[in-house]
Amino acid sequence: MRRRISLLSTTVLVVIALQVPEASAASHAGKGPVSTPATPVSTPLTAVGTAPARTASGDRSAGANTGGDGAHLAGSAGSGELKDSEGVQHGVPPDTQTLPAGTPDFSSNTVFGPDGRVRAADSAGYPERAIGVLIIDAPDGSTRGCTGFLYGPNIVATAGHCLYHPSMGGWAESVRIYPGQDDTNSPYGYCWGTEAYSVQGWVNDLDRNYDYGAIKLNCTVGDTTGWFGMHWQTSSYNGTRVAVVGYPQDKQPPFTMWGMFGPIEGSRSNQLLYTIDTDSGQSGGPVYYPGCGAFCAIAVHASGDQYWNYGTRITEAVFNNYLDWRYG
């Protein structure tokens, strides 16, 4: 019987457009020439047959709630009803043949001793349904798997190496997210990414301190699934109990959600350290606890070694980039 888990520096923006299959978009000019290394650029694509993506409503400056040490972006449980989303597609579940268990996501992850992860008993409930498996088509012809989590109606946070890595030929060519996926069941369909975002610290230097990114979607599935809030603070998180949840590729059946609770054991400037078990495929999942009006992500799970698993910490700079990508 399965146990339920209600799982509870200076950076420069880098943006790349993702290919949406069967899109027949007119050519779009970039938003402007690169004038400084810090100038963001983007090239949007149009997804044929789907509702146009909307910019998240609200004022970006009003999106963050400040108080004491840090700030947070509010989460939402969503409606749970697909009728409340636009642009969601159905009928094409992830292909277990093209993404077999063990397909690398370019990052080491560690199981420490006996595996403490448990399978989500209800991936269609909140907050689990705001977490999805990412299917990534790479320039080298391979298909990769990662995890991502919604933090707005049409925006997903993930690890930078899920979107860009020299070993797969550079930037991802296309990305799909299946929120709440459970084996062959796709309770909330899937959406295509239209733009991928990361920062120079990852893209130029592959510095694990900056291993984070985001994906703008061609749908508003977050109105249905809900989304995670985000929080940053400068003080230590040591001892804070969190959940780390995602889609590991060492578990069967494929495309099932697993997670584990545990304490933060180290608080670095740009990383949080823990011995919560993870494996390849869980990169990009949220490190979170209750808060932000729902659930708060405080890091993006990214990597591991023999000593620790690591989440890229949501610092003030990371938080501001995520706000820009959501509201931009």
For the chain (length 328 residues), average pLDDT per consecutive 10?
A: 41 53 38 32 36 50 67 96 94 61 58 93 96 91 92 96 89 92 94 92 89 94 98 97 95 93 97 95 96 96 93 94 92
Q: Which of 76, 123, 280, 283 is catalytic?
A: 283
Which pairing describes strands 191-199 and 13-17: parallel, antiparallel, or unpaired? antiparallel
Biggest CA-to-CA distance, the chain: 58
Which pairing describes strands 229-232 and 294-304: parallel, antiparallel, or unpaired? parallel
Class of domain 13-24+69-88+105-117+125-327: mainly beta
Residue 3 · residue 259 · CB < 8 Å: no
Q: What are phi and psi of 198, to 5 degrees?
A: -155, -160
283 catalytic, yes or no? yes
Cα separation, 280 vs 99, whole angstroms: 12
- Give the residue from 104, 174, 110 showing the smallest Cα distance to 146: 104
Give the pLDDT of residue 10: 41
Q: Which of 161, 165, 231, 301 is catalytic?
A: 161
CA pseudo-torsion sign 89, 91, 92, 95: positive
Whole-prediction pTM value? Answer: 0.86
For residue 127, give the 3-state DSSP assignment: coil
Q: What are phi and psi of 195, to 5 degrees?
A: -145, 145
The β-bridge partners of 131 are 149
161 catalytic, yes or no? yes
CA pseudo-torsion sign 273, 274, 276, 277: positive
Give the pLDDT of residue 122: 95
Supply the Cα-derived Rg of the chain in whole angstroms: 18
Give the pLDDT of residue 42: 37
Structure tokens at 88: 């969601």
Give the pLDDT of residue 96: 54
